[in-house]
């Protein structure tokens, strides 16, 4: 069904949730259990949940004795190889409390560009959902090259929402909403609702960030939200701490209305 407003959120049947590296790695690794609590509550209502999770490189960094995100591709791939295994273990360890099983899905941009690979990915994830498995999707950083990357997992999440014809996409970060200017600046105001087709003229987003663990920013979330909305998927952009509220239709974050 199409979700046109927040009041409809609890009727969503298929939901994609995306979480960023900084929200679930390092000092914030403790946010995984409450995130899982919210996902499990929705799963328990019969919702088909897909989690798109960044964090493989960030999770692997300490094991490679790296203090900052590596800039060379080979070291990024090595960190991702170590971190992806640990990241899935942490999610599954938390999901065990609810007897929910996770299924790992690693994608490259080439997979979604190639019709055969795209169809295979769609079929596999649909079958996982039929079996009440919770797919955890990430970019396949171990084999992806700079030329074929999604760019950021916000875009990946929007493309997964398109692939699976999702009712709702929830984009999570460390900030509770999109604002009219960077939220730390005086006069910044929360953007509560974005109508379909609204270009957000006059809104000043900070530059896309590349911090010690990941990449992203408000502009990438706005772009991803528009991409998903064009396909008829409603979008909420909010903080990881407010994921339960977002999944139950509470007025938090920024709501992007979908195309009719």
Tens digits of residue pLDDT in 24-52: 988 888 999 999 999 999 999 999 999 99
Neighbouring-strand partners of residue 107 = 139
Q: Residue 55: inside a domain, yes or no?
A: yes
Asked if residue 153 belongs to a known ligand binding site, the reply is yes
| pLDDT higher than 80, residue 9 | yes
Each residue of 47-88: pLDDT tens digit? Answer: 999 999 999 999 999 999 999 988 888 898 899 999 999 999
Q: Residue 1: inside a domain, yes or no?
A: no
Q: Residue 132: inside a domain, yes or no?
A: yes
pLDDT at 144: 63
pLDDT at 86: 94
Between 15 and 111, residue with greater pLDDT: 15
Question: Among 125, 59, 136, which residue's Cα sits nearest to residue 100?
Answer: 136
| pLDDT higher than 90, residue 231 | yes
Model confidence pTM above 0.85: yes
Average pLDDT over residues 7-26: 93
Average pLDDT over residues 136-161: 78
Q: pLDDT-based confidence at 149, cuts 50/70/90?
A: low
Q: pLDDT-based confidence at 209, cuts 50/70/90?
A: very low
Each residue of 171-203: pLDDT tens digit? Answer: 999 999 999 998 989 999 999 999 998 888 778
Q: pLDDT-based confidence at 206, cuts 50/70/90?
A: low
Q: What are all long-range contacts of 140-148, with beta carbons under 8 Å and residues at least 24 apart?
A: 140/106, 140/107, 140/108, 141/56, 141/57, 141/76, 141/77, 141/80, 141/84, 142/77, 142/80, 142/81, 142/84, 142/106, 143/77, 143/108, 144/108, 144/109, 145/73, 146/73, 148/108, 148/109, 148/110
Nearby residues of 77 by Cβ (< 8 Å), 6 or more positions away: 141, 142, 143
Asked if residue 13 belongs to a known ligand binding site, the reply is no
CA–CA distance from 137 to each of 5, 100, 242 (Å)?
A: 26, 16, 21
Q: Residue 258: inside a domain, yes or no?
A: no
Asked if residue 181 belongs to a known ligand binding site, the reply is no
Asked if residue 173 belongs to a known ligand binding site, the reply is yes
Between 155 and 110, residue with greater pLDDT: 155
CATH code, domain with 207? 3.40.1160.10
**How many domains does one find in the chain?**
1
Question: Among 94, 42, 84, which residue's Cα sits nearest to residue 61?
Answer: 84
CA–CA distance from 200 to each of 175, 191, 195 (Å)?
A: 18, 10, 9
Asked if residue 152 belongs to a known ligand binding site, the reply is no
Average pLDDT over residues 211-222: 67
| pLDDT higher than 70, residue 1 | no
Q: Residue 247: inside a domain, yes or no?
A: yes
| pLDDT higher than 90, residue 150 | no
Domain carrying residue 87 = 6-251
Percentage of residues in the chain with pLDDT exceeding 90?
69
């Amino acid at each position: 069904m199409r979700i046109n407003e927040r009041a409809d959120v609890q009727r969503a049947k298929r939901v994609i949730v995306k979480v960023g590296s900084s929200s679930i790695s390092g000092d914030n690794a403790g946010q995984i259990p409450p995130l899982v609590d919210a996902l499990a509550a929705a799963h328990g209502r019969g919702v088909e949940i897909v989690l798109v999770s960044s964090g493989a490189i960030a999770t692997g960094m300490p094991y490679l004795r790296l203090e900052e995100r590596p800039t060379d591709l080979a070291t990024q791939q090595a960190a991702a190889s170590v971190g992806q295994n640990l990241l899935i273990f942490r999610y599954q360890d938390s999901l065990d409390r609810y007897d929910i099983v996770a299924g790992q899905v690693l994608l490259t941009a080439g997979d979604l560009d190639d019709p055969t690979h795209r169809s295979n990915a769609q079929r596999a994830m649909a079958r996982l959902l039929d079996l009440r498995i919770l797919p955890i999707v990430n970019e396949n950083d171990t084999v992806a090259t700079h030329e074929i990357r999604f760019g950021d997992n916000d875009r990946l999440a929007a493309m997964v929402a398109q692939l699976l014809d999702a009712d709702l996409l929830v984009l999570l970060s460390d900030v509770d909403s999109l604002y009219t200017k960077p939220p730390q600046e005086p006069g910044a105001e929360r953007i509560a609702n974005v109508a379909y087709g609204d270009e957000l003229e006059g809104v000043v987003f900070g530059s896309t960030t590349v911090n010690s663990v990941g990449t992203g920013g408000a502009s990438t979330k706005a772009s991803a939200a528009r991409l998903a909305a064009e396909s008829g998927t409603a979008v909420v952009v909010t903080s990881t701490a407010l994921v339960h509220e977002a999944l139950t239709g509470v007025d938090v974050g920024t709501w992007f209305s979908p195309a009719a």
